[in-house]
Structure 1
Amino acid sequence: MSSELSPIDKAKFVAAKQATQYVEDGMKVGLGTGSTAAWLVKCLGEMVENDGLKIRGVPTSSRTAELARDVGIEVISLDEAKWLDLTIDGADEFDGNLNLIKGGGGALLQEKIVATASDQMVVIADAAKSVETLGAFPLPIEVIPFGWQTTKMLVEETLIGMDVLGRTVSLRMNGDAPYYTDEGNHILDLHLNRIGHARQLSLVINQIPGVVENGLFIDICDVVVIGHGDGRVEVRDINEGTVEESRFDIIEKDNLFADLSD
């Protein structure tokens, strides 16, 4: 298999590599879900193998748990950890205030629980995920299967009073069958195009019976690490109010990264 990485994969890799600098020996670390987070897990696994890094990881999905074990990271549950030093995860969108849309990978509930049980949340993303206003990416909400069509109707009615441009709601599918999360729930994707008041929408959506959680992460992310295809990395820290830039020389490795894809 060729080791040549696409620009988007290079961007994800350098963001993940930069984010490993936040990880210290002995930490309990939340491990996100999705293609960008998979790069992080691989990078941390390399540090465990080559540098003797000792961490305990709390995965946000069964997929991430399997990958973490495969690369030698000790995996524990959130109940065992109780509280985390750090969570590193990807995002489907982020705005200038580091508010996020997450859940494209179907793990938003565990991701939000883990992120809010951490001293710090670091998001890794390629530059295409940066937006002025959230909403171009469909907003996922996790709903219980019982009465999901009624829940969908209530969501559609609620959106009429919200500051959004679109109101189409679709059930996420896995082939010909509904998609199921790790908790056995469904996901409704809200095609809103633009979200005028994300905080208000998050609060209102979560009041609808049948809704478990939504994919808006408001005031949770502390730092976003943005990768570019040419190796540049931008780090935005919302608490410090700083923006720093650096660059990685990318050395591509067949054995470590060729098996990762979107």
Structure 2
Amino acid sequence: MNQNELKQQVAKKAVEYVLNNVAKDQIIGVGTGSTADLFIDELAKVKSHIKGTIASSERTKARLESHGIAVFDVNDVVSVPVYVDGADEIDPEGNMIKGGGAAHTREKICASIADEFVCIADASKEVAILGAFPLPIEVVPLSREAVARQMRELGGNPIWRMNADGSPLITDNACHILDVHGLHITEPLALEIQLTIIPGVLTVGIFAQNAADVALIAAADGVNVVNF
């Protein structure tokens, strides 16, 4: 079974999870990325079960709306019963690195108002310690080099993320992304707090304050449900 088939498998399991655990006519949160895209496509088949969604990116909003699924402004929603999203890495405590899709700021906002964070991923995303995947940090453009210097002082190697055509990637929030290589994140919550207070940092891609409550992990033998 290839990775795309695993993602498809876990997307279907996530829709099943929503149907079994979320009352009818609720608003749910939807993340961003290739696995989240597949979840949206599966969710469209049962869209009558939900009232609508909140979206963690313009990409997700567009995909949801293309399926006729209502998207609400997060400012108009007090809470959601569940937020479903992927991860670039997830450790045994449910801490994650996210932001490979440059959407981690809005993902973190959506997760913060959810009663439950359900992480959907394939088994390749499971790690003992976070950091093999470069840590994304969304920064105000003016602060990019100042933040990069501080990352180097911490032993990281920050790389300014570019588009395929060589132009700087600009996030939905009109910011830049630094991908920090070479970190060995043994205390995710402490590092998340430390990096978040650096002037110019909008959001760091460590999800420890908003860690996963449940992980649906696709493997060759099926989807494993992990509760944290």
Structure 1, residues 38-90: CA drift from partner, whole Å, max 9, x if none?
11101100112xxx323311010000000001112111111121211110000
* 1:46–1:156 CA distance, 2 compared to 1 (3 A): same
Instruction: Return the letter of the residue paired with 1:209.
Output: P
Runs of 5+ consecutive residues of structure 1 not aligned to the other structure = 1-5, 161-166, 239-262
CA contact (8 A) 2:161 2:176 kept: yes
Q: 2:215 aligns with which of 192, 209, 224?
A: 224
Number of residue pairs matched? 222
Q: 1:196 aligns with which of 175, 186, 201?
A: 186
2:93 — aligned with what?
A: 97
1:26 — aligned with what?
A: 25
Q: What is the identity percentage for the equivalent residue pairs of Structure 1 and Structure 2? A: 37
Runs of 5+ consecutive residues of structure 2 not aligned to the other structure = none
Q: 1:119 aligns with which of 115, 118, 135?
A: 115
| Cα offset, 1:22, TM superposition | 3.0
User: Helix, strand or coil: the match of 2:184?
Assistant: coil
| Cα offset, 1:115, TM superposition | 0.4
How far apart in 1 are the matches of 2:192 and 2:89? 15
| Cα offset, 1:19, TM superposition | 1.2
| Cα offset, 1:153, TM superposition | 1.3
1:245 — aligned with what?
A: none
**Does residue 10 of the first structure (1) align with residue 13 of the second (2)?**
no
How far apart in 1 are the matches of 2:180 and 2:107? 19
Correspondence 1:158-169 to 2 at 5 A: 159-160=154-155, 167-169=156-158
Correspondence 1:1-262 to 2 at 5 A: 7-23=2-18, 24=22, 25-48=24-47, 52-157=48-153, 159-160=154-155, 167-174=156-163, 175-220=165-210, 221-228=212-219, 230=220, 232-238=222-228
User: Helix, strand or coil: the match of 2:49?
Assistant: coil
How far apart in 2 are the matches of 1:14 and 1:193? 31
User: Helix, strand or coil: the match of 1:151?
Assistant: helix
User: Helix, strand or coil: the match of 2:16?
Assistant: helix
CA contact (8 A) 2:91 2:130 kept: yes
Instruction: Return the letter of the residue paired with 1:92.
Output: D
What's the Cα RMSD here?
A: 1.4
TM-score computed with the length of structure 2 as normaliser: 0.93
1:241 — aligned with what?
A: none
How far apart in 2 are the matches of 1:36 and 1:136? 20
Instruction: Return the letter of the residue paired with 1:170.
Output: I
User: Helix, strand or coil: the match of 1:30?
Assistant: strand
Instruction: Return the letter of the residue paired with 1:143.
Output: V
* 1:152–1:219 CA distance, 2 compared to 1 (3 A): closer
User: Helix, strand or coil: the match of 2:40?
Assistant: helix
How far apart in 1 are the matches of 2:59 and 2:84? 15
Moved beyond 6 Å, runs of 4+: none
User: Helix, strand or coil: the match of 1:204?
Assistant: helix
